[in-house]
Amino acid sequence: MNRLRILHVEDDATEVELIQLILSKGGFECETFMANSGSEYIAALNGNSFDLILSNSSVPEFTGHAAFEIAKQKCPDIPFILVSANTNPEEIATYLNEGVVDCISKNQLWRLAPIARRAIAQSRLEQQNQAMERLVKVVQELSLARSLDEITAIVRVAARELTGADGATFVLREGDMCFYADENAIQPLWKGRRFPINICIGGWCMQHQQQVIIEDVYEDERIPYEAYQPTFIKSLVMVPIRQEAPIGAIGNYWATPHLATTEEIGLIQALADTTSVAIENIQVYQELEKRVRDRTAQLEAANQELEAFAYTLSHDLRSPLSAIDGYSSLLLSEYGNQLDERAKFFLNRLGIASDRMNAQIEHMLSLHKLSQTEIQPQTVNLSKIAQEIVVNFKANELNRQVETTIQEELVVYGDPVLLRVVLENLLSNAWKYTAKRKEAKIEFGAVLESNSLSKFYVRDNGVGFNMTYAQKLFRPFQRMHSQQEFSGTGIGLASVQRLVQKHGGRIWAEAAVDRGATFYFTLSEQRRKDEGRWGQGE
Three-state SS annotation for 486-507: CCCCCCHHHHHHHHHHHCCCCE
Task: Quick: pLDDT tens for 280-334.
Answer: 888 888 888 888 888 888 777 766 666 655 555 555 666 777 778 788 888 888 8
Is pLDDT of 371 > 70?
A: no
Among 5, 32, 28, residue whose Cα is nearest residue 117: 28
Task: Quick: pLDDT tens for 140-176.
Answer: 888 888 888 899 999 989 989 888 899 999 999 999 9
The Cα 154–Cα 141 span in angstroms is 7
Kindly state the percentage of the chain with pLDDT values over 70. Answer: 87
β-bridge partners, 182: 170
Residue 158, Ramachandran bin (φ over 0: left; ψ between -120 and 50: alpha; else beta): alpha
What is the reported pLDDT for 98? 87
Is pLDDT of 271 > 60?
A: yes
Instruction: Return the CATH architecture of domain 130-283.
Output: 2-Layer Sandwich (3.30)
Task: Quick: pLDDT tens for 404-421.
Answer: 999 998 999 998 888 988
Torsion sign over Cα 275, 276, 278, 279: positive
> Residue 215 — very low, low, confident or very high, per pLDDT cuts 50/70/90?
very high
Is pLDDT of 34 > 90?
A: yes
Contact between 116 and 80 (Cβ < 8 Å): no
> Residue 537 — very low, low, confident or very high, per pLDDT cuts 50/70/90?
very low
3-state helix, strand and coil shares in percent for the chain, rounded to the nearest 5 = 50, 20, 30
Work out the average pLDDT over 383-388.
93
Torsion of CA 513, 519, 520, 526, to 10 degrees: 160
Classify residue 473 by burial, with Cβ atoms within 10 Å: 0-12, 13-18, 19+.
buried
What is the reported pLDDT for 532? 43
What is the reported pLDDT for 536? 43
What is the reported pLDDT for 526? 45
> Residue 527 — very low, low, confident or very high, per pLDDT cuts 50/70/90?
very low
Work out the average pLDDT over 508-521.
90
What is the reported pLDDT for 533? 42
What is the reported pLDDT for 531? 44
Is pLDDT of 76 > 50?
A: yes
Classify residue 40 by burial, with Cβ atoms within 10 Å: 0-12, 13-18, 19+.
middle
What is the reported pLDDT for 481? 55
Torsion of CA 470, 471, 475, 480, to 10 degrees: -30
> Residue 538 — very low, low, confident or very high, per pLDDT cuts 50/70/90?
very low
Is pLDDT of 204 > 50?
A: yes
Is pLDDT of 384 > 90?
A: yes
Angle (nearest 5°) at CA 478 between 475 and 479: 135
Contacts of 498 (CB under 8 A, 6+ apart): 367, 370, 371
Task: Quick: pLDDT tens for 85-131.
Answer: 877 788 888 888 888 888 888 888 888 889 988 888 888 788 777 77
What is the reported pLDDT for 442? 93
Classify residue 290 by burial, with Cβ atoms within 10 Å: 0-12, 13-18, 19+.
exposed
Average pLDDT, the chain: 84
What is the reported pLDDT for 212? 94
Sheet holding 248-254, edge to edge: 194-196, 177-185, 167-174, 248-254, 235-241, 212-214
Torsion sign over Cα 14, 16, 18, 24: negative
Work out the average pLDDT over 393-412.
89
> Residue 443 — very low, low, confident or very high, per pLDDT cuts 50/70/90?
very high
Is pLDDT of 370 > 90?
A: no
Contact between 235 and 260 (Cβ < 8 Å): yes
Quote the pTM value.
0.50
Kindly state the percentage of the chain with pLDDT values over 90. Answer: 32
β-bridge partners, 185: 167
Least confident of 125-134, 203-212, 391-400, 483-492: 483-492
> Residue 467 — very low, low, confident or very high, per pLDDT cuts 50/70/90?
confident
The Cα 183–Cα 159 span in angstroms is 9
Work out the average pLDDT over 186-194.
92
The Cα 213–Cα 165 span in angstroms is 14
Q: Which fold has domain 373-521?
A: Heat Shock Protein 90 (3.30.565)
- For 182, list phi and psi in degrees, rounded to 5: -160, 165
Task: Quick: pLDDT tens for 85-94.
Answer: 877 788 888 8
Neighbours of 383 (CB within 10 A): 19
Task: Quick: pLDDT tens for 226-248.
Answer: 889 999 999 999 999 988 899 99
Work out the average pLDDT over 507-532.
75
CATH class of domain segment(s) 2-127: alpha beta
